[in-house]
Structure 1
Amino acid sequence: MSGPGGSAPDSPAAAEAPAAVDAPATVEQHTIDHIPDHERHGRVRDLFTMWFGTNIAPLPLVTGAMGVQVFHQSFWSSVLAILVGQLVGGIFMALHSAQGPQLGVPQMIQSRAQFGVIGALVIVVVAAAMYVGFFASNIVLAGKSLHGLAPAVPVNGGIVLGALGSAVICWVGYRLIHTLNKIATWVLGLGIAVGIAVVAFRGLPDDFFTRGGFTFAGWLATVSLSALWQLAFAPYVSDYSRYLPRTVRTPATFWATYGGSCLGSTLSFLAGTVVALAAPGADDTVAGFDSAAGAFGPVVLVLFLFSVINHNALNLYGAVLSLITIGQTFRAHWTPRRTARGVVSGTVLVVALLVAVGVSDDFVSRFVNLVSVLLIVLIPWTAINLIDFYLVHRGRYAMTDFFAADGGRYGRFNRTALSSYVLGIVVQLPFVSTDLFTGPLVAPLGGADLSWLVGLVVTAPVYYFWARPRTTEPHPAAASVAQEEPARTVPTA
């Protein structure tokens, strides 16, 4: 078994010396294809800055405030719930990240090993919808932030500018995304820390530590919100580790990702909690931060504007890779490159702009409900993917079969995975708590949504016991091939 405690066993590359690395191009050339050894680059610590910088953003700030605003927890109760949720949810997120250097392909492509080349489309379509929705909601936030800083710029104009900024980052690709998050780690991290300090030094309300209280149901609900924030990264986290050399040890990848993501998101969640208690009358949490921070408020808004544009590039990048994966499913001999990424980026950009501009007044609240539903169908995928990688196949896959029209040894459909997946969704329904649907067991739990936990606990063992006897691991020779770029000549776009 491979995992945080060691690198994948039986991998022929585990003991190889690093291959000669070509200088990576400024604009990323690859999309969903396998990254060959000679193009691998970067250091494990880049994953820490990648996920720390990404998580210093308005959305985790807003989500962190909900423990106080929605579930009426006290400061200390909310802090404890946030920490528990982040530390638990981050485990699954980081385990996905550790797959990247071993396989060198995007997460959605690797899902074909569990579900089959056609069966995996269920997951890819859901992931694409989530990314497009996240992208559209974030450009609405960018438009409103820019309008707040410069009232002469209309909200719709700000939406367009924010979307174009994210699109440029997405088109340049992997290297620029990592570089910007290195900058964000220091600039945004310092900025939000100073912002919290300013809010505290300007004086907290007398009831700051006594407002609210502890209810087990409200505390569980806050834990769930915190954990789901981490779990939402699962479908694309390994996309940003896939260029690292295969010689990178799995524990190093895990801990760099886990530390960066948990620390960054915890800082933002805690900032949201502080602001919610320090400025309870604010229209929204970001505006409350601006007000509570006094003269430092406009600086916070500028930093958040940069953060939204930077973070949103990941949503567009994930949407593009997912949509390209859908297209490649029906064109097995197509290897899309940067031109394809540019065309698909432009298409997503136009669609998201039309949606965001058309419903900008109420889009974010609508999208929160949509994401809640999408996460329900992604939770069982997380369990199946991790069990398959670490316990069933143990990191050994036939890479060329990922791109075969018939799915090779993985086939078009995998009934075991799909059956486990459907079961994982069904068992969650009684515990789901959203505006669109509320399960019958939510009320006895005081409104807490524990569907994600039930989905993980049920799906993981079911898939393991169903899949293990039926799995034929690649022959050692096939495992060796799995580490190389697919050996065939294909047209590029």
Structure 2
Amino acid sequence: MSHTQAPDELFVDTASRPETRGIELIDDSERHGRARDLFFIWAAPNVSILNLTIGATLILLGLEIWQAIAVIVAASTLWIFPGVIAASGPAAGTSGSVVTRAMYGIFGNRFFVAFVGWFIGAVFLSLTWLASSFLGADLLRRVGIDDPLWVPIGVTLVVSAVTIVVAIYGHGLILRLYPAMAAALFVIFLVVAGFILPSVDWQYAAPAPLEGVALWSSISIGFTILASTPLSFINSPDIARYLPRSTKPTNIAAATALGGAVPFIVFTTVGVLLATSVGPTAFDAGIDVALLDLLPGWVGPLLVVGVVINTIALNAMTAYTSSMALQAIGFRLRRIPATIIVGVVGTALTIYLVLSSSLLEAANLMLQFLVIVSGPAMAIFVVDVLRRRYAYDGVELFDDAPGGRFWYSGGWSIPGIAALLLGGLATALCLATEVWAGPIAEATGYIDLSVPVGMLVAAALYAGLQRTPLGKGGRP
């Protein structure tokens, strides 16, 4: 895959035609936009029913309202990490899935992108399509269209098709469309929140108030579920890569972090309040049913429209960046065919989940397991960005010949791969879920320390090993 654009293939980043550029370097003459544009691009995917779901989970874990909100605020600080790494895109002029060659080596990065980048993309594609499938199917059931198999599958196919079209048109359409989508979503979800608030039990108290180890176990598990969202966005450089090279990294970090954190805090908190409105038993039928039952009839369709818009926003971004991940792995595909492949895989996984689980079950388990790879990967990326001070050379990143700067040891960066694997192991040892509890989690009474421990182990190992001869070759 060439990293340059041929003269007769001059690329124009516009909303009116499909984006043919993938991981190719972006020349300075083609750069455009402002850092503040990123706020709305990140806000649109995060005004989400998935936030309502994980907010409700905090109450189901036994937390009081104020405890749940405190956990949300604490987890929201992690949005600074996608912000910090985002500026590596404009610095290098290419996708984040190519920038990570600096961390893992030429061949090591193929391993990383194939197993880590794709896993993260598949989880979020399936979870958000799953949310729209369940809500859309339930709304259709209420008007008499009630096939438990083909209705949710049909909703999934329609929404995924629209999503992939947006991803095919790419960055230009995302830049033009997402501010309007973010505004529409804020209005829709604020209307929904307005109907939820009068029914909130502001005096809510957990049926069995938690204390001691049990309390810290619920707090830590809730934090892990929440942390998985910001830590998963290792694709933030892809969205920022068209910005002029002179754009201040602090501005990019602030716009990205605030765009993700503000709706994250607001609508996860709404999810907490929703759980006090309907009670724990209402969630046995699913959060989608509980929410629609709470709303007036005319608001239900409005909510479904909002969920579909959000699904398209989040998954178009995910499919867009995942298509470039396919190219970075080494497949000789242009970006548009790669996007279609991503869409087919994500749709298949979504249909499987539609037929086998509820939204709440799928979200909680998949988001907890996600941190095994996303936490260490994010920590390594942040350490590398800070070490290099955004000094990434796009031409050197594409030099995949033996002896190149990022060839390291036979194409593998031992510091990066070791930090990723051992950080992931440390995360798993501290993780506490319904189907898996690591020995450290068991020893502490199921207090889940997976995120801080995994990230600290990965960051410390990577920084330490880079100072040894193993880091020779890729040093700044």
TM-score, length-scaled by structure 1: 0.83
| Aligned-partner Cα distance in 1 for 2:155–2:425 | 41
Counterpart of 2:288, as a letter, is V
| Aligned-partner Cα distance in 2 for 1:401–1:34 | 11
Of residues 394, 400, 407 in structure 2, which corresponds to 1:399? Answer: 394
Of residues 296, 300, 320 in structure 2, which corresponds to 1:294? Answer: 296
| Aligned-partner Cα distance in 1 for 2:428–2:349 | 29
Of residues 179, 192, 204 in structure 2, which corresponds to 1:182? Answer: 179
Matched residue, 2:133: 143
1:104 is the counterpart of 2:93 = yes
1:245 is the counterpart of 2:223 = no
- CA distance change for structure 1 residues 143 and 221 in 2, over 3 Å: closer, same or farther? closer
The alpha carbon displacement at 1:207 in A equals 4.5
Matched residue, 1:485: none
1:320 is the counterpart of 2:323 = yes
Matched residue, 2:106: 117
Range with greater deviation from structure 2 (174-183 or 138-147): 138-147
1:130 is the counterpart of 2:127 = no
- CA distance change for structure 1 residues 78 and 212 in 2, over 3 Å: closer, same or farther? farther
Contact 1:135 1:312 in 2 (8 A): yes
Contact 2:138 2:288 in 1 (8 A): no
Q: Deviations over 1:404-425 (max 9, x none)?
A: 2336111011122222222212
1:30 is the counterpart of 2:25 = no
The alpha carbon displacement at 1:182 in A equals 0.6
Of residues 45, 58, 65 in structure 2, which corresponds to 1:54? Answer: 45
| Aligned-partner Cα distance in 2 for 1:146–1:303 | 11
The 5 Å alignment of 1:199-348 reads 199-201=196-198, 203-205=199-201, 207-208=203-204, 213-214=209-210, 215-233=215-233, 235-280=234-279, 281-282=282-283, 283-295=285-297, 296-328=299-331, 340-348=334-342
- CA distance change for structure 1 residues 212 and 229 in 2, over 3 Å: closer, same or farther? farther
- CA distance change for structure 1 residues 218 and 356 in 2, over 3 Å: closer, same or farther? closer
The alpha carbon displacement at 1:298 in A equals 3.0
| Aligned-partner Cα distance in 1 for 2:123–2:259 | 25
The alpha carbon displacement at 1:436 in A equals 4.2
Counterpart of 1:351, as a letter, is V
Range with greater deviation from structure 2 (364-373 or 217-226): 364-373
- CA distance change for structure 1 residues 443 and 186 in 2, over 3 Å: closer, same or farther? same
Contact 1:22 1:38 in 2 (8 A): no
Contact 2:379 2:455 in 1 (8 A): yes
| Aligned-partner Cα distance in 1 for 2:229–2:167 | 22
Q: Deviations over 1:3-35 (max 9, x none)?
A: xxxxxxxxxxxxxxxxxx996333323111121
Matched residue, 1:154: 151
Contact 2:63 2:218 in 1 (8 A): yes
1:372 is the counterpart of 2:368 = yes
Root-mean-square deviation (Å):
2.6
Counterpart of 1:394, as a letter, is R
The alpha carbon displacement at 1:53 in A equals 1.5
- CA distance change for structure 1 residues 422 and 227 in 2, over 3 Å: closer, same or farther? same
- Equivalent residues, number: 442
| Aligned-partner Cα distance in 1 for 2:97–2:428 | 25
- CA distance change for structure 1 residues 187 and 25 in 2, over 3 Å: closer, same or farther? closer
- CA distance change for structure 1 residues 206 and 47 in 2, over 3 Å: closer, same or farther? closer
1:43 is the counterpart of 2:39 = no
- CA distance change for structure 1 residues 123 and 24 in 2, over 3 Å: closer, same or farther? same
| Aligned-partner Cα distance in 2 for 1:84–1:44 | 25
Range with greater deviation from structure 2 (413-422 or 141-150): 141-150
Contact 1:275 1:292 in 2 (8 A): no
- CA distance change for structure 1 residues 367 and 32 in 2, over 3 Å: closer, same or farther? farther
Counterpart of 2:250, as a letter, is P
Q: Deviations over 1:60-79 (max 9, x none)?
A: 2211211111x110111101
Range with greater deviation from structure 2 (427-436 or 464-473): 464-473
The alpha carbon displacement at 1:230 in A equals 0.9
| Aligned-partner Cα distance in 2 for 1:148–1:426 | 40
Contact 2:376 2:458 in 1 (8 A): yes
1:351 is the counterpart of 2:342 = no
The alpha carbon displacement at 1:122 in A equals 2.2
- CA distance change for structure 1 residues 54 and 98 in 2, over 3 Å: closer, same or farther? same
| Aligned-partner Cα distance in 1 for 2:208–2:28 | 54
Counterpart of 2:306, as a letter, is L
| Aligned-partner Cα distance in 2 for 1:220–1:300 | 31
The alpha carbon displacement at 1:241 in A equals 0.7
The 5 Å alignment of 1:55-94 reads 55-69=46-60, 71-87=61-77, 89-94=78-83
Counterpart of 1:343, as a letter, is P
Name the SS for the 1:43 alignment partner: coil
Matched residue, 2:378: 382
Name the SS for the 1:150 alignment partner: helix
Gaps of 5+ in 1: 1-20, 480-493
Contact 1:208 1:278 in 2 (8 A): no
The alpha carbon displacement at 1:206 in A equals 6.9
| Aligned-partner Cα distance in 2 for 1:410–1:473 | 6
Counterpart of 2:140, as a letter, is A
Counterpart of 1:107, as a letter, is G
- CA distance change for structure 1 residues 429 and 270 in 2, over 3 Å: closer, same or farther? same
Gaps of 5+ in 2: 1-9
| Aligned-partner Cα distance in 1 for 2:49–2:161 | 19
Matched residue, 1:429: 428
Counterpart of 1:219, as a letter, is I
| Aligned-partner Cα distance in 2 for 1:112–1:416 | 12
Contact 1:74 1:209 in 2 (8 A): yes
